[in-house]
Amino acid sequence: MISRKITASIQSGSMIRKMFEEGNRLKGIYGEDNVYDFSIGNPDLEPPEEVVRSLCALTASPAPGMHGYMSNNGYLSTRTAVARSISTASVTVPPEAICMTVGAAGAMNAVLKSILDPGDEVILLSPFFMEYINYIENHCGVAVIVPTDPDTFMPNMDRIDAAIGPKTKAIIINSPNNPSGALYPKEILSALNDRLLSHDRVIHIISDEPYRELVYDGGSAPSTISVIKNLIICYSWSKSLSLPGERIGYSAVSPEHEDFELLTQAIVLANRILGSVNAPALFQKVIEFSIQAKVDITNYEERRNLLYDILIGAGFTVSKPAGAFYLFARSPEDDLEFCKRCAEERILVVPGSAFSCPGYFRLAFCASEKTIRGSADAFRVIGRSYGLCD
């Protein structure tokens, strides 16, 4: 027998993955061009040329020992490059603050293992990436869900204050946000920092930042490390460099953090205990040599605009997201039932309930332009069936 906890997790499963698998089933019946899959944030742009060149050069002329073990927190040269890339005029990040990890998920698990005792609480701001709950429970913590303000999806400081108790150990923030696309301005980050510093103990702010570079309309994400004192960043190049399958990321502890020395050591130990040992050696070097590279987000911005216009034209209520890969639209009925209705028209979306925010549905606009354009008629059919459009 397997554990009861894992049995329950298998039965509940991930709604995103379930929709992804449903998409594969429908594509087998109707053909890939006749299924409009917006279920998963899997970037379809290829990595930037700098990444490709670095990878080719490293594999063609490998340095001796390049595929061996290194320090558990990663190559010093890589960590130095990463530290420089997130340093600001006001905060100089040392390489000791960085631990190279197996993606942002690896970073998040190492961080939570480092800080949580059984029963400790972690505040989550809904809507949020649903795997956070699994990560917290995996390290014997308890998730405390606090809704953001409706429509803007911005943190509500009074609700956060009310949720803080004697067992509160951390809060997880994610900006630009999955699934809402909300981008927290510097003023919000500063207010959150001030609120948490007003308590008589350290409450960590864990900032999950895989979409940090994916900001549209000429905007940019404010530097969290410039604003937040007791900060831990979890980052991945999955989205910014289109490398989700390579599983390369890092954790970064602010040098201003009150527990900097112990926390940085703990994360390295947790990274080893969890079985990662170290991040993939080859891709640490690829990242080091292409640290300034970025995908062309103009492609994503154009797709965002196209899908947004299609939804508005079909009568749906949705705010245009400032960043990330997703539109988060209001559902005209129970979101689970609505997603089933969409599947009848061969459109695959994810219910807001998957992000602890029922009444909405999420669409990933990193799908191809062909898929987005092809979905327009189907969305209008759905909109008309709910009386949303003519």
Burial class (CB in 10 A: 0-12, 13-18, 19+), 4: exposed
State residue 323 phi and psi, 5-degree precision: -160, -170
Say whether both 356 and 227 belong to one domain.
no
pLDDT at 15: 63
202 band by pLDDT with thresholds 50, 70 and 90: very high
* Residue with token string 């906890």: 5
Residues of the chain above pLDDT 70, percent = 96
Q: Please name the residue that has the structure tokens 């040329």.
A: 49
Are 364 and 376 part of one and the same domain?
yes
Counting residues of the chain whose pLDDT is more than 90, the rounded percentage is 86
Which residues lie closer than 8 Å to 110 by C-beta, 6 or more apart?
99, 101, 251, 267, 270, 271, 274, 276
Confidence of residue 62 (pLDDT cuts 50, 70, 90): confident
Q: What is the distance between the alpha carbons of residues 157 and 143, in angstroms, rounded to a whole number?
A: 18
- Residue 346: name the closest of 20, 30, 44 by CA: 30
Residue 240 falls within a domain, yes or no? Answer: yes
**What is the pLDDT at residue 66?**
86
Q: With bands split at pLDDT 50, 70 and 90, how would you rate the model's confidence at 99?
A: very high
| Cα–Cα nearest to 250, from 67, 88, 347, 111 | 111
Is residue 276 included in any domain, yes or no?
yes
Residue 299: its H or E element: helix 298-313
Which of 289, 304, 327 delimits the end of a domain?
289
63/173 same-domain check? yes
**Span 157-161, mean pLDDT?**
96
For the segment 272-277, the average pLDDT, to the nearest whole number, is: 94
Residue 233 clears pLDDT 80, i.e. is over it: yes
- Count: domains in the chain: 2
Read off the pLDDT of residues 279-335 as tens digits, 9 standing for 90 and up. 999 999 999 999 999 999 999 999 999 999 999 999 999 999 999 999 999 999 999
Question: What is the CB neighbour count within 10 angstroms for residue 368?
Answer: 11
The verdict on residue 78 lying in a domain is: yes
What's residue 12's pLDDT? 57
Query: If 0-12 CB within 10 Å is exposed, 13-18 middle and 19+ buried, where does residue 13 land?
Result: exposed
Please tell me whether residues 136 and 259 are part of one structural domain: yes
- Within-domain flag for 327: yes
Whose structure tokens read 């969290």? 224
User: Is residue 126, in this structure, part of any structural domain at all?
Assistant: yes
Domain stop point among 256, 289, 322: 289
- 3-state SS class at 357: coil
Q: Are residues 229 and 312 in the same domain?
A: no
* In a shared domain, residues 35 and 145: no
User: Are 10 and 132 in the same domain?
Assistant: no
Beta strand 98-101 pairing with 249-253? antiparallel
Is residue 157 located within the same domain as residue 88? yes
The CATH number given to whatever domain includes residue 108 is 3.40.640.10
In a domain? residue 390: no
Indicate whether 373 belongs to any domain.
yes
Residue 270 shares a structural domain with residue 372: no
Average pLDDT over residues 237-252: 95
What pLDDT is attached to residue 373? 97
DSSP 97: G
Q: Which of 342, 326, 346, 322 minimizes the C-alpha distance to 334?
A: 342
H-helix or E-strand containing 249? Answer: strand 249-253
Q: Does residue 166 fall inside a structural domain?
A: yes
Q: For residue 206, which of 225, 185, 191, 188 has the smallest C-alpha distance? A: 225
> What confidence score (pLDDT) does residue 149 get?
95
What confidence tier does 365 reach under pLDDT thresholds 50, 70, 90? very high
The DSSP letter of residue 387 is T
Quick: pLDDT tens for 2-35: 887 777 776 555 666 666 677 677 777 777 778 8
Considering the domain architecture, whether residues 175 and 269 belong to the same structural domain is answered as yes
Q: Which of 289, 308, 324 is the last residue of a domain?
A: 289
Specify the pLDDT at position 20: 67
The verdict on 16 and 142 lying in the same domain is no
pTM listed for this prediction? 0.94
Residue range(s) defining the domain that contains residue 317: 4-47+296-385
Model confidence at 100, pLDDT cuts 50, 70, 90, reads very high
Query: Does the pLDDT of residue 171 top 70, yes or no?
Result: yes
Which residue type, as a one-letter code, is found at position 347? Answer: I
Same-domain check for residues 278 and 143: yes
Helix (H) or strand (E) holding 191: helix 186-197
- Name the amino acid, one letter, at 185: P
Mean pLDDT of 269-274: 96
Contact yes or no for 227/264 (Cβ under 8 A):
no
